[in-house]
C-alpha cells in the first residue's frame, strides 16, 4: 500500500509498512583506518563514525559474520619527498619551483599517494587536468569497495531480510559519515541523490515560492542553480541576480544590497538565496559569510558546494546553511551517480514536494486521494530505491579524503600560482606576443602551511592566442591537447553567467533573443565561445603542471603549431592536407 516492503505477516506487525530494518555491522580494515585517519593532524580531519554493533541472527557463525563484514586492506603507502621526474627538463624546473615555493614540500604525502593510488596516470602517460569535471578515484578505494561487495550480500533497503539490514547499515553509516565530514551540528540530515544537480532540483521543486517571494542568486553559477528560477517564476516569485565581477564571483557589498532590496517583507513570503561556494569556471570563492547575512534578512539559504567541497574544509557548525548540495565523484572520484543534499530537518519539513513515489510514503489510498508520507524526513525525498550498493564507498571515500584534505589547499594553490605565472610569461617565437590570456581569478593569498585555506580554487580559465593576438579556436586547442595526452576541458562549463563575465559578453548575453542557439550566438560574435579550463585536484603534482606548460610552449612555436593546425583541418574535413 505504501513502500511495498517485503515481509511476513506476524502478530502486531503493521502491514502498511515494514519495521525499520536493523543493520548488520561492517568491519573496517585496520590498515585502512590507520592510513586514512592517522596521518592527518587531528584539528583538520573530522572523526568519521563506524558502524554500531547491531543484533545479528543467532545461527550465524563467527566466520560467516567476519566474512560478510571484512575489507581487503589497501597497500601501505611508500614514503617519498619528491615525485618521479623522468622527463628532460622536469627535474630542473622542479628545483627552480621549490626555490620559490619551498612550502610545497610539506605536501610530500600527496606524492606518496600519487605513487600508491594514481600510478595509472604515469603508466598511461595521460596528464589529467579536469578535476572540476570529475576527480579521479584512488585505487585503494576501489579495492576496498570491491572486496566488500565480493564478500557481502546486499539487498533492497525496503525490506527486513539480513541482506536488507546490511544495506540499511551501509546507508546509516554513510549518512553519519557525511554529517561528520561536514561538521554538521544536531538537526541536520542527509538526502542521497544522483548528484549535486539532483539535490538542487529537490530544493527548487519543493520550496514554497509564492507571489511576493524572491529567488536571489549570483550570475556566476552553475546551470543547476539557474534552473531553480523556473520553479520560482512558475509560482509567481521574482528572480533577482547578483552580477558577476569581471573575474567572477560576487562583490560582497553589491550582494548585500541585492539581498536587502528583495528580502521578505509584509506578508513574509518565503524567499530563497542560493550561493555558489566556488565557481567552476572563474575560480572565485564567494564568502560564506553571505549565508549568515541572508539568513539575518529572513532568507532560506542554499549552498552549491559541488566545486568547493573537493579541496576546501566546510563546517556547517560555522556556516549553518539551510541546505547544501554536493557530488561525491567530484570529491574522490567514485562512485558516480551519488550526491547529497545535506539539510536542516527544520528546512526539509517546510518543503512541499509535488509528487510521491515508492520509498517516500507510508500509506497510499488507491483508488483515492489519501497519502501518508513516511515519518523519516530524509526518506520523503529519496524517490524509489537509493544507490545502496555504492553507499559504502561514500563512507570510505570520506575517510580517505579527510586524511588528505588538509594538504590540498597548500599543494594546489602552489601549483596554480606557478602555472599562471609560467603561462603568463610565455611569448610567441615570431612576434613576441603573449601566448595565453588568463581570464579566471588568480590567487592573492600565499598559502604557507598545512591546514591553511586558500582564497580561490585551483581552476585556470584562459584563451590561447595566435601571434596576431586573435583567439585560437578552443576546438583546435582541445584537439592539440588530445594529441599530447592532456585531458582538459573547453566551453562554458554549464556556467553561462561566469563565462559571459570572463569573456566580456555580459551585454551580449542580455541582448540574446528568446530563440537563441549557441551556433547563432557564436556566429554573431564571430568566434567560438567559451574558455580553455585547466583544473587541478587530489592527484595533481608538479609533473602535470610542467606538461601543461610544455604544451603551451609548443603552441608558442610557429612550426609546431602550424603542423598541428594542418592535422586538425585535415581531421575536420577528412582530407589529408
Please, what are the domains in the chain? 88-125+406-493+530-570 (3.90.1150.10), 144-402 (3.40.640.10)
Residue-level pLDDT at 212: 94
| pLDDT number for residue 8 | 36
Distances, alpha carbon 390 to alpha carbons 17, 154, 183, 561, in Å: 25, 11, 22, 45
HSE (CB half, 13 Å, CA atoms) of 554?
Answer: 17
Residue-level pLDDT at 21? 42
The residue behind cell 551519488 is 338
Find the distance separating the first CA and the last CA of the chain, reported in whole Å.
68
H-only helix segments in 325-454:
329-332, 345-348, 391-404, 408-425
C-alpha distances out from residue 38 to 223, 275, 423, 467, Å: 39, 34, 38, 52
pLDDT, residue 266, reads: 76
Query: What per-residue confidence (pLDDT) applies to 29?
Result: 41
Per-block mean pLDDT, blocks of 10 residues, the chain (577 long): 42 38 45 38 42 35 37 39 68 95 97 97 97 98 97 95 96 98 98 98 98 97 98 98 97 98 89 98 98 98 98 98 98 97 98 93 94 93 95 98 98 98 98 98 95 97 98 97 98 96 93 90 89 98 97 97 95 65
Nearest to 302 by CA among 313, 286, 283, 282: 286
DSSP readout, 3-45?
S--B----TT--TTSPPPPP----PPPHHHHHHHHHSS-TTTS
Backbone torsion region of residue 432, taken as left when φ is above 0, otherwise alpha when ψ lies between -120 and 50, otherwise beta: left
The pLDDT of residue 574: 65
pTM more than 0.85: yes
The span from the CA of 128 to the CA of 136, in Å, is 9
Q: Please give the backbone phi and psi of residue 535, each rounded to the nearest 5 degrees, phi first.
A: -130, 135
What per-residue confidence (pLDDT) applies to 265?
A: 86
CA neighbor of 340 nearest in space, from 194, 217, 445, 124: 194
The bridge status of strand 300-304 relative to strand 272-276 is: parallel
Cβ pair 154, 9 in contact under 8 A: no
Largest Cα–Cα distance in the chain?
A: 88
| Residue 493 exposed, middle or buried by CB count within 10 Å (0-12, 13-18, 19+) | buried
Beta-strand pair 371-373/361-364: antiparallel
CB atoms within 10 A of CB 417: 21
Pairing mode, if any, of strands 489-491 and 531-535?
Answer: antiparallel
DSSP state of 72: P
User: Taking a C-beta distance cutoff of 8 angstroms, is the pair 497, 508 a contact?
Assistant: no
Q: By C-alpha distance, which of 388, 508, 493 is closest to 439?
A: 493
Measured between alpha carbons, how far is 577 from 569 in angstroms, rounded to an integer? 8
Amino acid at each position: 500500500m505504501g513502500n511495498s516492503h517485503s515481509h511476513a505477516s506476524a502478530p502486531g506487525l503493521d502491514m502498511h509498512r515494514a519495521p525499520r530494518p536493523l543493520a548488520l555491522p561492517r568491519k573496517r580494515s585496520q590498515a585502512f583506518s590507520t592510513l586514512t585517519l592517522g596521518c592527518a593532524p587531528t584539528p583538520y580531519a573530522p572523526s568519521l563514525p563506524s558502524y554500531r554493533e547491531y543484533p545479528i541472527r543467532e545461527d550465524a557463525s563467527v566466520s560467516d559474520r567476519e566474512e560478510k563484514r571484512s575489507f581487503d586492506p589497501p597497500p601501505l603507502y611508500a614514503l617519498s619527498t619528491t615525485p618521479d621526474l623522468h622527463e628532460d627538463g622536469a627535474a630542473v624546473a622542479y628545483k627552480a619551483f621549490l626555490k620559490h615555493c619551498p612550502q610545497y614540500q610539506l605536501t610530500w604525502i600527496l606524492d606518496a599517494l600519487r605513487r600508491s593510488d594514481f600510478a595509472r596516470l604515469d603508466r598511461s602517460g595521460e596528464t589529467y587536468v579536469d578535476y572540476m569535471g570529475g576527480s579521479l578515484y584512488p585505487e585503494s578505494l576501489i579495492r576496498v569497495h570491491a572486496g566488500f561487495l565480493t564478500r557481502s550480500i546486499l539487498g533492497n533497503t525496503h525490506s527486513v531480510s539480513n541482506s536488507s539490514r546490511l544495506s540499511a547499515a551501509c546507508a546509516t553509516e554513510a549518512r553519519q559519515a557525511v554529517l561528520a565530514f561536514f561538521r554538521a551540528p544536531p538537526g541536520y540530515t542527509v538526502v542521497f541523490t544522483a548528484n549535486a544537480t539532483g539535490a538542487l532540483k529537490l530544493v527548487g521543486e519543493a520550496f514554497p515560492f509564492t507571489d511576493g517571494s524572491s529567488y536571489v542568486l549570483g550570475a556566476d553559477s552553475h546551470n543547476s542553480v539557474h534552473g531553480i528560477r523556473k520553479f520560482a517564476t512558475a509560482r509567481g516569485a521574482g528572480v533577482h541576480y547578483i552580477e558577476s565581477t569581471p573575474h567572477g564571483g560576487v562583490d560582497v557589498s553589491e550582494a548585500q544590497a541585492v539581498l536587502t532590496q528583495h528580502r521578505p517583507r509584509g506578508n513574509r513570503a518565503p524567499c530563497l538565496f542560493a550561493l555558489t561556494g566556488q565557481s567552476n569556471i572563474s575560480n572565485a570563492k564567494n564568502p560564506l559569510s553571505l549565508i549568515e547575512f541572508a539568513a539575518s534578512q529572513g532568507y532560506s539559504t542554499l549552498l552549491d558546494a559541488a566545486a568547493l567541497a573537493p579541496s576546501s574544509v566546510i563546517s556547517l557548525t560555522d556556516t549553518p546553511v539551510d541546505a547544501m548540495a554536493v557530488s561525491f565523484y567530484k570529491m574522490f572520484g567514485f562512485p558516480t551517480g551519488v550526491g547529497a543534499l545535506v539539510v536542516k530537518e527544520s528546512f526539509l519539513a517546510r518543503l512541499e514536494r509535488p509528487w510521491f513515489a515508492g520509498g517516500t510514503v507510508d500509506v497510499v489510498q488507491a483508488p483515492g486521494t489519501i497519502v501518508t508520507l513516511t515519518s523519516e524526513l530524509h526518506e520523503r525525498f529519496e524517490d524509489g530505491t537509493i544507490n545502496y550498493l555504492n553507499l559504502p564507498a561514500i563512507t570510505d571515500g570520506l575517510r580517505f579524503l579527510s586524511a588528505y584534505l588538509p594538504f590540498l589547499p597548500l599543494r594546489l594553490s602552489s601549483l596554480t600560482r606557478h602555472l599562471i605565472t609560467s603561462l603568463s610569461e610565455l611569448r610567441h617565437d615570431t612576434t613576441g606576443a603573449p601566448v595565453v590570456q588568463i581570464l579566471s581569478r588568480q590567487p592573492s593569498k600565499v598559502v604557507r602551511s598545512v591546514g591553511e585555506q586558500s582564497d580561490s580554487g585551483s581552476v585556470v580559465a584562459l584563451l590561447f592566442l595566435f601571434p596576431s593576438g586573435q583567439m585560437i579556436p578552443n576546438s583546435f586547442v582541445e584537439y592539440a591537447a588530445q594529441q599530447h595526452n592532456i585531458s582538459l576541458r573547453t566551453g562554458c562549463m554549464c556556467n553561462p553567467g561566469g563565462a559571459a563575465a570572463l569573456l566580456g559578453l555580459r551585454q551580449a548575453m542580455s541582448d540574446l533573443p528568446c530563440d537563441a542557439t549557441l551556433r547563432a550566438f557564436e556566429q554573431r560574435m564571430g568566434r567560438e565561445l567559451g574558455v580553455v579550463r585547466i583544473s587541478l585536484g587530489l592527484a595533481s603534482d608538479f609533473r602535470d603542471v610542467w606538461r601543461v606548460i610544455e604544451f603551451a610552449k609548443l603552441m608558442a612555436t610557429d612550426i609546431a603549431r602550424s603542423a598541428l593546425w594542418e592535422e586538425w583541418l585535415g581531421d575536420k574535413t577528412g582530407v589529408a592536407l
